[in-house]
Copies of this chain bind each other. A is one copy, B any other.
């Protein structure tokens, strides 16, 4: 089996037992075999050796909410409110999408994510077999789900749900388990209750988790109250959405009672600070959720509302804005912010036994950061530096499932120049 021996590296493990250590890591196949300050004895036979000097190694970042193919619409509509942006700008353009647009938009996003240190992402979109195909080829890890909008006749609803189920059946567990799947009503405001109920039943039947957008804007919460007599959390709870594993994106507008309910039901939250700020949706109550025991993770949302997919930006934002808003400079400290993007991300998608940490026996999903740069000096508080000064551009190497997918800043299994050119061509056609 293939082996890699990293010597003399600094490892930010995200493991509370030994958060930072200097030493050696050995990878065998897709797994971390050895991690210690001591030189491995006996030395791993036939291992490729990598000098870790000047590099910091940490778990790959986990982006728990996005729509990769929308990266074609980066910058297409800025400075608009959520509903206008979505209904008047995004949906008409997305209505024109072909398979090709989905392929190159997704590839553009995957390239950006891999190069900036994200090794696992959650993607909710349509034409998911194309997304899965790109993910399989790229070497990335993905939790993929066909998001369905139910504002359509029953036969179309039926067809969408069947497509979503078929995708689960076709792709769940493929690519050595790198690809997993979910089912997803797009949002309570885009799916009638009975349709959500049917999707929940289908998820239980197929034994996969559920994902949706929830309580992103105040207007949407109010609409839920008007339409169904309760706020979205209660609404989804009544529909059984939280009765199995579930992940909700945004969760910006929550009452204390709603936070308590999410904690009680074990619901995972994907906090998307940049997207929520940019669309002026508000600022999620992250410190309160963390205190209540809710698993909070980080997502970029799509490049159309962010407008980048660098999870380091979300980590820093999460560390900064909750201090400023709460007036408490100890809110979301650096270590906690880094956990949002790693350990908590893994927990939010029910993979904490496999990824999000550098630890023997876990999957070899990790990244190497060039710290021989002025913004990482003096080299003392490396966790603080990663959070407050780090960027996806500092990432030089990326491994997923033991395979090197980015080397010296370039994707190994994707043709970046072709992807940029095709993405440009697709966007120009959509615009015309």
Q: Compute how far the CA of A112 lies from the CA of B391 in the bound complex, rounded to whole angstroms.
A: 14
Q: Compute how far the CA of A116 lies from the CA of B373 in the bound complex, rounded to whole angstroms.
A: 11
A75 and B384 form a contact (CB under 8 A): yes
B375 and A75 form a contact (CB under 8 A): no
User: Can you report 26 A-B residue pairs in the complex whose CB atoms are below 8 A from each other?
Assistant: A74-B381, A74-B384, A74-B389, A75-B384, A76-B381, A78-B333, A78-B384, A80-B329, A116-B375, A277-B320, A278-B324, A278-B329, A279-B329, A280-B328, A280-B329, A303-B389, A308-B389, A310-B375, A310-B391, A377-B424, A378-B424, A378-B427, A379-B424, A391-B391, A391-B393, A393-B394
**For the complex, is A419 an interface residue (Cβ under 8 Å from B)?**
yes
Cβ-closest 9 pairs across A and B:
A75-B381, A277-B324, A393-B393, A378-B427, A75-B384, A280-B329, A307-B388, A308-B389, A112-B374
Chain B residues whose CB sits within 8 angstroms of the CB of A208 once the complex forms:
none
**For the complex, is A265 an interface residue (Cβ under 8 Å from B)?**
no
Chain B residues whose CB sits within 8 angstroms of the CB of A280 once the complex forms:
323-324, 326-329, 331
**For the complex, is A115 an interface residue (Cβ under 8 Å from B)?**
yes
Separation in Å of the A375 CB from the closest CB of chain B? 5
Chain B residues whose CB sits within 8 angstroms of the CB of A331 once the complex forms:
280
A420 and B375 form a contact (CB under 8 A): no
A380 and B334 form a contact (CB under 8 A): no
Chain B residues whose CB sits within 8 angstroms of the CB of A282 once the complex forms:
324, 327
* A388: contacting residue among B278, B323, B427, CB under 8 A: B278
Interface residues of A in 296-316 (CB under 8 A from B): 303, 306-310, 313, 316
Chain B residues whose CB sits within 8 angstroms of the CB of A115 once the complex forms:
374
Separation in Å of the A165 CB from the closest CB of chain B? 32
B306 and A388 form a contact (CB under 8 A): yes
Binding site for B on A (CB under 8 A): 71-72, 74-76, 78-82, 85, 108-109, 111-112, 115-116, 274, 276-283, 303, 306-310, 313, 316-317, 319-321, 323-331, 333-334, 372, 374-375, 377-381, 384-385, 388-389, 391, 393-394, 416, 419-420, 423-424, 426-428, 431
Q: Compute how far the CA of A419 lies from the CA of B307 in the bound complex, rounded to whole angstroms.
A: 34
Chain B residues whose CB sits within 8 angstroms of the CB of A329 once the complex forms:
79-82, 85, 278-280
Chain B residues whose CB sits within 8 angstroms of the CB of A276 once the complex forms:
324
A308 and B112 form a contact (CB under 8 A): no
B278 and A428 form a contact (CB under 8 A): no
Separation in Å of the A370 CB from the closest CB of chain B? 10
* A423: contacting residue among B310, B378, B427, CB under 8 A: B378
Q: Can you name the residue of chain B whose Cβ is closest to the Cβ of A112?
A: B374
Separation in Å of the A127 CB from the closest CB of chain B? 19
* A385: contacting residue among B307, B380, B393, CB under 8 A: B307
Most buried by B among A281, A316, A394, A427: A316
Q: Compute how far the CA of A316 lies from the CA of B320 in the bound complex, rounded to whole angstroms.
A: 13
Q: Can you name the residue of chain B whose Cβ is closest to the Cβ of A115?
A: B374
A420 and B310 form a contact (CB under 8 A): no
B380 and A75 form a contact (CB under 8 A): yes
* A79: contacting residue among B75, B274, B324, B334, CB under 8 A: B334
Q: Compute how far the CA of A74 lies from the CA of B378 in the bound complex, rounded to whole angstroms.
A: 7
B388 and A428 form a contact (CB under 8 A): no
Q: Can you name the residue of chain B whose Cβ is closest to the Cβ of A409?
A: B373
Q: Compute how far the CA of A80 lies from the CA of B333 in the bound complex, rounded to whole angstroms.
A: 10
Separation in Å of the A250 CB from the closest CB of chain B? 13
B277 and A388 form a contact (CB under 8 A): no
Separation in Å of the A63 CB from the closest CB of chain B? 14
Q: Compute how far the CA of A315 lies from the CA of B374 in the bound complex, rounded to whole angstroms.
A: 20
Chain B residues whose CB sits within 8 angstroms of the CB of A333 once the complex forms:
78-79
Q: Can you name the residue of chain B whose Cβ is closest to the Cβ of A421?
A: B377
B330 and A374 form a contact (CB under 8 A): no
